[in-house]
């Protein structure tokens, strides 16, 4: 009887461009949490209780105990943490005790970490948002479009960004970022 | 164009798709008397002003929110942007 | 051999660059343009004009150049119509002249010049009309051959291009004195600044004039300013960058030339097209000099006066040895004084203004005189003034005044304003939001004033944005005299006087245009083509409209300008395309089983952005039909597996999810039990069928909807519209899960057996898990999965979904586990054949023009509830009993093929649309029935099963008899899928 194992969309891609590194994050669990109508207060309390996580505003991630929470849309959140469970929504649903509607999103996304001096110059080629530190400080995130791809971009530190995009177009997503890095490399 | 999203701040219009007149919020009641005439107007008739236009934009490549944008069709000046959900409720839409 | 350079030039005479012009080896220096190097090598004839093929020379020293258009580079990178005046010289550069038949020196088409009377304005509206049949075979090829200036290589552009996005507080367009002063002030005030200049060296006219600023030359001051600016972290200096256009809300486009000055791009993008978001912008684009129209004013050696100064001062090249000056303003005199200072002989200064008294030692000066004519066809020899006075000159510097470069400010409905005192248009009307102007672009034509205005305007902007202004005093600079008395054309000239040099438009053409009723300035432009060439009339528009004003008895403001549009200078198509070329034109989406499919002989087709396997060829198969027929047979006999991940999956949760679905689908959904799946039909609000799919209920408040692949995105968009705008107080939430789950159809009589080996601890018997059941399960010892018993193929079938990262392992495991059950992978084609055999509608039938009634699903549209599209779907014409209806079709002659798109006719009826009975929407060869089958729409189709009608295909020239059947051609009772 075969046992089936997961494959990351980019197979754990890890590339260097001078001192800048582009790495796939293969163990990121993603769970969406929809805020029930009239249930924001209840969910807020439960998030605090279960995860010590404050409800985030539209532009900034909140984090606690290794988990990050962002607002994907006005009434929908996404919880992110390191976990290879194929159905992490189950555990989150239990923890939220009915205060939010959850889905497992892990498989829908591919995640890349970009860090180093070429991060901002490369992203300048594809990202319509202002990414300099005064406009987009660490902790800030946004959903935008880069070369026709929907991307979630999260500032994870000086000269470091975490980027998420749809897993089915992972190859195009990687190509887009690597072309940008090559174009701004010496 | 740049649309000043009420929650996210200014964003390039390229992140959006446009639907049209915000009057589309007022979908008639399909079970009421005169529904066919009301739906005919709803689906086929539209004002086309040279000047201020309230229209529906969808932040498809952003937060998936629908917005009501007041835009001058001649100058493209955008004078107001609001979450469509708030506008719909204010204009009487509910369940 | 290149002459030694005059002192003080901004070229590096210590290094020599070799280049080739029309096959001849020449040399120049770093800092040269191709134009300055050609002049240094004595090359004065550089082109032939568009219509008349007149010999032409270099006219200007900037991007406004109308004459010196060359073919730059060779091979695939060859670029026609490149201005020699902006092409930076590099070692190994190849350039050649264009637009001549035979050599540049002996152009066979120069005969056109003799035929000039036949080529006047609008000649092509009056000629080439008769006889009509000559147009296609003779006239058009002739015109096409003669049209255009340069030639494309015909090969694919070998370079890559890129796009980019920049944000700033202040975009400064142009780095001349005003722009540099503004940048210094803004940078010191702490603004985020972008300073862009089209030149490779910042400084604008400071590099071309003999100004002083403080105790330095203008060029030195510019260099020092740049050094200070480049040390500021928030200031971005962009040379070789032309701001091309102003757009809404402070958005500007700019084209940066990254490798055009290098022999090799080395794999880097040749150019970058930037989208700049600027809170404020300052137009410091300077002004462009214009000519004066007089007889034969287009000879090689006749140049703009400011350009002569540029060649002498910046490049150290004297464009002639006997230079005359023709001017209507004070600025033209600077050319004479600059030339004399460098030891170049000036033969005459002719000033059109009467009553002047200025003198120049050793130079003949004429006040109140005009130039009537010139001599020297391929090279200027002399000029003739009124009174018949002839003066020797091999170079004539003409100054008709300066036109502020207002283009950018007029890209958004703005119309510039005429200023009498400087005889030029300045910014006016509605300016693009956030844009102001400073310096010559603002009509401030003198140096000290330009510096001051740049600083003052930048300070005002800084304060506007909440920064403290910069109070550093500016160094001393002169405000050189600038007095002008407008003088546009020498009416006494009898020879042709050129206005638009590139399109060969003369003063006679302008007069003719007015006479023939094309006196509005926009008509003048199109009738004469004045201002329509690649230079867009930069040196000729104002001259042209001023002449039009005179001949039509209007003032210049009354005449007005034509509309300005981006781009400011020509942009390669590749730059607009950026990375959107070839496979990168748009993203590609791959299914979780893609890698496995590649290994197993799959042929792929594009389904929107998706790559989907269409069939899996096996060794020995002769073509796609062999593979597809086999896949259908094996699936219907054993078990087939198909990746159906691409179909849209939308997760729907909420207390009101059921109510929401009930309003979205035309058929009832409120009472769908937990653990069941139902087919759903979605209508558009106008009552036409929009999309279909199946929706499964996993719990009280949890549903998963599927859509067709093509409509996944639009359906999601419409659901969000309904959720947020129509019923904002329903508790319902959506998220796409298309990519979250790998989903496989498992179909065929052995499908239950296969899945029993895969799904953990589950009774899959027909009683326990009947048709249209669904459940959350696990597979292969614990991996979470979802199982749906639905059938598109009509066989006993399921769809099994696992988290997409397990998709690759899943397909391999299914193939492994099902070996002895004869499991076969099947692709899009076999899927299509089977659904046609079953009579299931797909994209061809749901094309936006069909209704539920036509699809045979009229009964599904519930009249007991309000749902999208229900009301208008009941319109009389759309619910006729005898309307179009989905039917099956088969050829009467069983061996014949059928044509998709063929129209259906009653035998004997005329074959025209008035007698149209419908059309064939989908066609396939049925391995199950061993003949071709089709689905189509036929008028009153439900009542016509058994009838023989005609399928008429005029495109392929086929007409054949077909028999009408039920669309459900295989297993019409549906016993297999319910077993």
Residues of C in contact with B27 (CB under 8 A): 685, 726
Listed in sequence order, the DSSP H helices in C291-434 are: 305-313, 331-341
Q: At what angle do helices C177-188 and C218-230 cross, to 10 degrees?
A: 30
Listed in sequence order, the DSSP H helices in B7-77 are: 35-44
For residue A43, the model assigns a pLDDT of: 98
Mean pLDDT of A71-99: 97
For residue C266, the model assigns a pLDDT of: 93
Listed residue (C674, C677, C719) closest to C700, CA to CA: C674
Residues 405-464 of C with CB under 8 A from B: 413, 430, 433
Q: How far apart are the first and last CA of chain B?
A: 34
Sheet hosting strand A101-104, strand order edge to edge = A62-64, A67-73, A76-82, A28-34, A101-104
Residues of A in contact with C809 (CB under 8 A): 2, 4-7
Cα B16 to Cα B62: distance, rounded to the nearest angstrom = 8
Neighbours of chain C (3+ CB pairs under 8 A): A, B
Cα C215 to Cα C227: distance, rounded to the nearest angstrom = 17
Cα C927 to Cα A102: distance, rounded to the nearest angstrom = 45
Q: Residue A78: is its pLDDT beyond 90?
A: yes
Q: Is B45 on the interface with A (CB under 8 A)?
A: no
Domains for chain A: give ranges and CATH numbers: 14-185 (3.30.1360.120)
Q: Map tokens 């899928």 to a residue.
A: C977
DSSP C69: E
For residue C1, the model assigns a pLDDT of: 58
Token pair for residue C372?
């009537």
Q: Are B79 and B52 in contact (CB under 8 A)?
A: yes
Asked if C726 lies within 8 A of B93 by C-beta distance, the reply is yes
Listed residue (C762, C785, C787) closest to C772, CA to CA: C787
Q: Is C214 on the interface with A (CB under 8 A)?
A: no
Give Cβ neighbours of residue C583 (< 8 Å, ≥ 6 apart). Answer: none
Neighbours of chain A (3+ CB pairs under 8 A): B, C
Q: Is C266 on the interface with A (CB under 8 A)?
A: no
| Total H helices, total E strands in chain B | 2, 6
Q: Is C436 left (phi over 0), alpha (psi -120 to 50) or beta?
A: beta
Provide the CATH topology of domain B2-90: Folate-binding fold (3.30.2270)
Q: Is C872 on the interface with B (CB under 8 A)?
A: yes
For the stretch C389-444, pLDDT in tens is 999 999 999 999 999 999 999 999 889 999 999 999 999 888 999 999 999 999 99
For residue C121, the model assigns a pLDDT of: 79
CA distance A35 to chain B (A): 14
Q: Which of C432, C725, C733, C873 to mutate to test the interface with B (most CBs of B within 10 A)?
A: C725
Residue among B7, B15, B61 whose CB faces A58 most closely:
B7
DSSP C468: P
**Coil vs helix vs strand at C138:** helix
Strands, DSSP E only, in C49-97? 55-56, 69-72, 79-83, 93-97
For residue C136, the model assigns a pLDDT of: 86
Residue among A72, A129, A145 whose CB faces B63 most closely:
A72
For residue A2, the model assigns a pLDDT of: 58
Domain boundaries, chain B: 2-90
Torsion of Cα atoms, C545 then C548 then C553 then C556, to 10°: 0
Residues of A in contact with C808 (CB under 8 A): 7
Q: Map tokens 């099956």 to a residue.
A: C888
Q: Spell out, as residue ranges, where chain C has pLDDT lower than 70.
A: 1
Q: Is C877 on the interface with B (CB under 8 A)?
A: no
pLDDT tier at A127 (50, 70, 90 boundaries)? very high
Cα C586 to Cα C611: distance, rounded to the nearest angstrom = 12
For residue C127, the model assigns a pLDDT of: 80
For residue B28, the model assigns a pLDDT of: 98
Give Cβ neighbours of residue A83 (< 8 Å, ≥ 6 apart). Answer: A27, A28, A29
Task: Tell me the C-alpha to C-alpha distance, in Å, between residue A72 and each of B8, B18, C209, C270, C578.
Answer: 11, 20, 58, 37, 30
Q: Map tokens 């754990």 to a residue.
A: A12
Listed residue (C482, C336, C313, C354) closest to C395, CA to CA: C336
Across-strand partners of C417? C426
Q: What is the ipTM of this complex?
A: 0.99
For residue C889, the model assigns a pLDDT of: 98
Q: Is B29 on the interface with A (CB under 8 A)?
A: no
For the stretch B38-85, pLDDT in tens is 999 999 999 999 999 999 999 999 999 999 999 999 999 999 999 999
């Amino acid at each position: 009887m075969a046992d089936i194992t997961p494959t990351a969309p980019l197979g754990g891609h890890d590339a260097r461009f001078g001192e800048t590194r582009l790495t796939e994050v293969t163990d990121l669990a993603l769970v969406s949490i929809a805020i029930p109508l009239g249930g924001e207060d209840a969910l807020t309390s439960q998030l605090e209780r279960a995860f010590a996580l404050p409800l985030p505003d539209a532009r900034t991630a909140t984090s606690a105990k290794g988990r990050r929470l962002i607002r994907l849309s006005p009434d929908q959140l996404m919880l992110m943490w390191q976990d290879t469970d194929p159905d992490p929504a189950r555990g989150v649903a239990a923890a939220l005790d009915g205060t939010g509607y959850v889905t497992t999103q892990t498989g829908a996304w591919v995640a890349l970490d970009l860090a180093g001096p070429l991060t901002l110059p490369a992203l300048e080629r594809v990202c319509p948002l202002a990414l300099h530190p005064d406009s987009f400080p660490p902790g800030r995130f946004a959903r935008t479009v880069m070369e026709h791809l929907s991307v979630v971009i999260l500032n994870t530190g000086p000269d470091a960004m975490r980027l998420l995009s749809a897993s089915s177009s992972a190859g195009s997503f990687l190509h887009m970022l690597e072309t940008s890095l090559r174009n701004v490399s010496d | 164009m740049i649309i000043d999203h009420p929650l996210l701040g200014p964003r390039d219009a390229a992140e959006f798709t446009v639907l049209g007149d915000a009057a589309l919020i007022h979908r008639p009641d399909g079970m009421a008397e005169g529904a066919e005439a009301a739906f005919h107007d709803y689906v086929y008739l539209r004002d086309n002003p040279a000047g201020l236009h309230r229209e529906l934009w969808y932040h498809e490549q952003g937060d998936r929110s629908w917005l009501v944008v007041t835009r001058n069709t001649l100058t493209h000046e955008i004078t107001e942007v609001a979450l469509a959900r708030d506008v719909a409720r204010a204009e009487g839409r509910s369940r | 051999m290149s002459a030694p350079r005059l002192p003080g030039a901004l070229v590096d005479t210590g290094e020599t660059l070799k280049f080739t012009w029309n096959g001849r080896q020449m040399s120049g220096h770093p800092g040269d343009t191709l134009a300055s190097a050609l002049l240094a090598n004595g090359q004065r004839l550089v082109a032939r004009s568009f219509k008349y093929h007149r010999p032409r020379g270099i006219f200007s020293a900037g991007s406004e150049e109308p004459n010196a258009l060359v073919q730059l580079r060779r091979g695939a990178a060859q670029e026609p119509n490149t201005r020699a005046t902006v092409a930076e010289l590099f070692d190994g550069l190849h350039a050649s002249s264009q637009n001549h038949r035979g050599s540049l020196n002996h152009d066979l088409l120069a005969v056109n010049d003799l035929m000039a009377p036949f080529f006047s304005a609008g000649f092509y509206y009056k000629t080439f009309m008769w006889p009509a049949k000559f147009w296609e075979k003779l006239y058009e090829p002739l015109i096409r051959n003669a049209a255009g200036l340069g030639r494309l290589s015909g090969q694919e552009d070998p370079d890559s291009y890129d796009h980019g996005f920049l944000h700033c507080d202040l975009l400064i367009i142009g780095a001349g004195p005003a722009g540099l002063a503004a940048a210094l002030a803004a940078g010191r005030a702490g603004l985020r600044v972008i300073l862009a200049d089209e030149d490779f060296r910042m400084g604008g006219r400071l590099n071309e004039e003999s100004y002083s600023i403080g105790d330095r030359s203008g060029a030195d001051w510019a260099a020092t300013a740049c050094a200070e600016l480049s040390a500021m972290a928030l200031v971005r200096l962009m040379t070789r960058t032309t701001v091309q256009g102003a757009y809404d809300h402070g958005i500007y486009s700019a084209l940066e030339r990254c490798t055009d000055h290098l022999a090799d791009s080395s794999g880097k993008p040749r150019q970058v097209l930037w989208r700049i978001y600027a809170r404020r912008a300052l137009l410091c684009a300077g002004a462009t000099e214009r000519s004066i129209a007089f007889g034969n004013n287009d000879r090689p050696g006749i140049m703009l006066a400011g350009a002569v100064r540029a060649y002498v001062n910046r490049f150290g090249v004297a464009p002639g040895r006997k230079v005359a000056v023709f001017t209507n303003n004070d600025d033209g005199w600077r050319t004479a004084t600059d030339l004399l200072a460098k030891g170049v002989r000036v033969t005459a200064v002719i000033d059109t203004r009467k009553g002047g008294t200025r003198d120049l030692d050793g130079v003949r000066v004429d006040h109140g005189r005009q130039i009537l004519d010139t001599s020297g066809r391929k090279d200027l020899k002399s000029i003739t003034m009124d009174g018949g006075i002839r003066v020797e000159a091999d170079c004539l510097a003409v100054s008709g005044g300066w036109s502020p470069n207002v283009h950018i400010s007029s890209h958004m409905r703005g119309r510039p304003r005429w200023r009498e005192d400087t005889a030029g248009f300045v910014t006016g009307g509605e300016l693009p939001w956030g844009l102001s102007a400073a310096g010559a672009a603002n009509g401030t034509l003198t140096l000290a004033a330009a510096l001051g205005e740049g600083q003052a305007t930048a300070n005002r902007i800084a304060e506007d944005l909440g920064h403290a202004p910069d109070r550093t005093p500016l160094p001393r600079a002169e405000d050189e005299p600038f007095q002008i008395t407008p003088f546009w054309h020498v009416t006494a000239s009898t020879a042709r006087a050129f206005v638009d040099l590139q399109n060969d438009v003369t003063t006679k053409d302008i007069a003719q245009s007015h006479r023939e009723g094309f006196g509005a300035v926009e008509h003048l432009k199109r009738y004469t083509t004045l201002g329509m060439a690649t230079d867009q009339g930069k040196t000729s528009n104002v001259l042209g409209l001023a002449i039009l004003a005179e001949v039509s008895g209007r003032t210049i403001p009354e005449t007005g300008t034509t509309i300005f549009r981006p781009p400011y200078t020509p942009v390669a198509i590749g730059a607009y395309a950026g990375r959107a070329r070839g496979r990168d034109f748009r993203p590609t989406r791959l299914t979780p089983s893609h890698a496995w499919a590649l290994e197993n002989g799959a042929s792929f087709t594009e389904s929107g952005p998706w790559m989907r396997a269409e069939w899996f060829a096996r060794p020995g198969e002769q073509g796609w039909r062999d593979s597809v027929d086999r896949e259908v047979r094996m699936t219907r006999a054993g078990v087939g597996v198909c990746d159906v991940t691409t179909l849209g999956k939308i997760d729907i949760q909420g207390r009101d999810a059921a109510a929401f679905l009930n309003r979205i689908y035309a058929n009832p959904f409120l009472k769908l039990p937990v653990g069941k799946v139902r087919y759903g039909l979605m209508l558009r609000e106008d009552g036409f069928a929009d999309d279909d799919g199946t929706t499964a209920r996993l719990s009280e408040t949890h549903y998963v909807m599927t859509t067709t692949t093509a409509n996944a995105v639009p359906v999601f968009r419409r659901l969000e519209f309904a959720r947020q705008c129509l019923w904002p107080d329903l508790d319902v939430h959506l998220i796409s899960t298309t990519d979250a789950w790998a989903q496989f159809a498992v179909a065929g009589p052995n499908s239950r057996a296969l899945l029993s080996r895969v799904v953990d601890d589950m009774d899959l018997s027909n009683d326990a898990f009947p048709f249209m059941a669904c459940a959350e399960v696990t597979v292969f010892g614990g991996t979470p999965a979802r199982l749906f018993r639905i059938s598109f193929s009509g066989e006993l079938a399921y769809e099994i979904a696992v988290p997409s990262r397990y998709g690759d392992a899943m397909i391999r495991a299914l193939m492994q586990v099902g070996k002895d059950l004869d499991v076969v992978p099947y692709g899009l084609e076999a899927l299509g054949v089977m659904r046609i055999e079953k009579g299931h509608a797909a994209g061809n039938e749901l094309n936006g023009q069909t209704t539920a009634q036509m699809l045979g699903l009229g009964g599904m549209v519930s009249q007991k509830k309000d749902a999208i599209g229900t009301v208008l779907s009941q319109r009389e014409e759309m619910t006729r009993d005898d309307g179009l209806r989905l039917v099956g079709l088969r050829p009467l002659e069983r061996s014949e093929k059928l044509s998709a798109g063929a129209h259906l006719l009653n035998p004997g009826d005329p074959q025209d649309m008035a007698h149209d009975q419908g059309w064939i929407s989908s066609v396939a060869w049925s391995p199950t029935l061993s003949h071709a089958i089709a689905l189509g729409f036929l008028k009153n189709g439900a009542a016509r099963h058994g009838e023989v009608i005609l399928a008429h295909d005029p495109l392929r020239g086929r007409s054949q008899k077909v028999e009408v059947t039920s669309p459900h051609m295989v297993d019409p009772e549906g016993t297999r899928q319910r077993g």
